[in-house]
Structure 1
Amino acid sequence: MRKIVVFCALLPAVLFLAGCSTLEPDYPLGDPAKLTQRLTDRAQWAYDAMELPPHKAVRPRYVTPEHSCLAGGFTVDEMAPDVVTYALSWTVEDVPADVARATEARLRRRFTSVGWNLTHDGNRRVKDYVELGFRFEDPETGDKFDLEWNNLTTSLFLSGYTPCARVPRSAADTPSPRTWTPRAT
């Protein structure tokens, strides 16, 4: 028993001295401007692929940094102050079920055709509740896009996220300087 206690007490020191990254994730450096541009470009690409019928304009949105990247170590709820994921979410309201199904199918085919991986399939029906959606991930960059719709809200939600990246501390809490809204095609 004593050997186990000594081992457990020395393990963190050994890992630290060895430079082991199991205690602190080794997040890549990220350029906030490039990450924001990539996210807005892909949001436009997704919007175009959805081929939505005429609808209320999507409200302008900022790309926002989110502190959901764990700092590591022995506390799993601690966030790294200079590590963020960038997010962009937007909504189209009052989308009928048949339009939502067709839109979801078009966007699903588009992501699949360019090699993105389906990581979550959210299509389900439980009694009178219908939910459509998915999550796709780009295998090259790690970017993720979620699509959601349900018959209670009848709103179509699209959210995009970049993987966690270490950015200058001054940029870690600053949304994009310009708003984004989809251009009509």
Structure 2
Amino acid sequence: MTPWILGLTGGIGSGKSAVVEHFGRLGVHWVDADHAARWVVEPGRPALATIAARFGDQVLASDGSLDRAALRRLVFADPVQRQWLEQLLHPLIRQEVADKLAQAQSPYAIMVSPLLIESGQYRQATRVLVVDVPEALQLERASRRDGVTEEQIRSIIAAQARREERLRHADDVLVNDRDMSWLAAEVESLHRFYLTLRGGKA
């Protein structure tokens, strides 16, 4: 039977990675759209040449790979450039994710994406799980993890779907504001529930 697809999303610093890695330990196949976003711009892939042709060598690292931080600085400040980049990359990322999900052997498979709602990827999922976290905790976790300023984190939050918008699309919500053992128990509970579903529906 073809696995049904669970879309997993949450704002920056919400703990999506910790959640999906625990699902993975339970034997669930998962694909991260962020990883796919890196694969589609690897040296030798057409997208990298297209990006370099538009922005010049300033977006390339010395080894010829994409300097993601340089590109981020250029596009976050300019909605037109960000839109151009998204129109180039989103279809490629969607295809990459679909190819990887097609390899799943588990009863359901997870598509993780910070832009699940904004990019329309949620339409490829049968259910949506939102990892939610209070904004103060989100800022603290993300700035500690990425070593960037609160202002930069706020600009990323502003570019992502508003929390209310994410929650509106959610079938399931996991509030990740406690410790890792509590989180693991919550994931295991959701997993047991998901195994009872037929095609992602109760």
TM-score normalised to structure 1 length = 0.25
Higher strand share: 1
Q: Tell me the TM-score normalised to structure 2 length.
A: 0.23
Larger radius of gyration: 1
More helix by share: 2
Whose relative contact order is higher, 1 or 2, with alpha carbons under 8 Å and at least 6 apart? 2
